[in-house]
Chain A
Amino acid sequence: MKTSLKWGEIGFRYIFLLLFLYGCATPEERAIKVPVSDSTVSNPVYPGPSEPQLHVVEIKDMKFQPEEISVKKGDTIMWVNRDMVTHCVTEENKKAWTSSNITAGAFWKMVVEINSDYFCAIHQVMKGKIIVE
């Protein structure tokens, strides 16, 4: 009987402590925080080597970074626009494919099948290259 009382007392104290700590927290701290950051884009989680991979090309300071990228057939490239102006990604020689406008902060993805020279049709001095290994 004494033991069950003791456990009951401990339980009560534990609940009291929890309520006390909750009361000390601000509403912001109580909210569940889901980390949303650029790291999801710049450091993607890559699948195993046999699976198609995701590669990121940043469009920053009016350059494709990296300008040249080597990928395997079936991999995906995601271009992320970090500049304050709109860009696009367009196959240069035959205009075989294009992203259309990628506004500031937006991104565009494409599954890669063949080698391509590409450029930004809006800023024609910006050039990039995809090499399929």
Chain B
Amino acid sequence: MKLILKPISAVTVFAMIVFGSAYAQVTPKLTDPEIASVAVVANQIDVNYAKIAKTKSKNADVLKFAQTMSDDHTAVIKQAVALVTKLGVTPKDNAVSQKLLSDAAKTKKQLNSKSGKAFDKAYIDNEVAYHKAVIDAVENLLIPQSQNAELKKLLQDVVPTLKAHLAHAEMVQKEFAK
């Protein structure tokens, strides 16, 4: 008997991560203030991962990548905060933001338990996986559900940055596959 594996979209995976497998078919519905919260939280999580890398790594490529993540995601947060301030929107905490934060806490714990090359590999592997998940969530969840045109535009503008980060992370990842 052949086992047939159907490809599932990363959005479904994202929904599974956030809401558990029982609710995998339910795409989360988010309002603009909730989308703003998810955007800020998702960026802040990567800034925090970079902080750990800057403390623990001695690899020049990893350190350079971590600095870029810290600078770029801080710049995106700044843009997002400027926009919500202009729009008079207060980012609203929600299930997606909370799940992202609780997962990040687990990942941070795992990263902090490693050192040397094992840490570098774990950090960069996580950056590849995290950016893939975030790109998919932004393209297939946050952009389609955002109502405000300027918020939608900001999210669309962020996608090329996230994709360049993913390509950069995959480039550094090759170093640890040898």
Contact = CB atoms under 8 A, between A and B. Distances in A.
Interface of A: 61-63, 83-86, 104, 122-126
Given A85-B161, A86-B71, A123-B168, 6 more contacts: A61-B157, A104-B75, A122-B71, A123-B164, A125-B167, A125-B171
Most buried by A among B71, B160, B163, B164: B164
B75 A62 contact: no
Interface residues of B, number: 16
B94 interface: no
B164 A84 contact: no
Contacts of B164: 62, 123, 125-126
A12 to B, nearest CB: 50
6 contacts: A63-B160, A84-B75, A123-B164, A125-B167, A125-B171, A126-B164
Nearest to B78: A84
B98 interface: no
A126 B160 CA distance: 11
Contact of B168 (A61, A84, A86, A125): A125
Given A125-B167, A125-B171, A62 B160 contact: yes
Interface of A (DSSP majority class): loop
Interface string B147-178: 00000000001101101110110010000000
Interface of B: 68, 71-72, 75-76, 79, 157-158, 160-161, 163-165, 167-168, 171
A61 B76 CA distance: 13
Contacts of A122: 68, 71
Contacts of B160: 61-63
Contacts of B163: 62
B94 to A, nearest CB: 24
B17 to A, nearest CB: 27
Contacts of B167: 125
Nearest to B157: A84
Nearest to B163: A62
Nearest to A123: B164
Contacts of B165: 123
Closest 3 CB pairs of A and B: A62-B164, A61-B160, A125-B167
A103 B171 CA distance: 24
Contact of A62 (B71, B76, B161, B171): B161
A74 B104 CA distance: 52
A124 B171 contact: yes
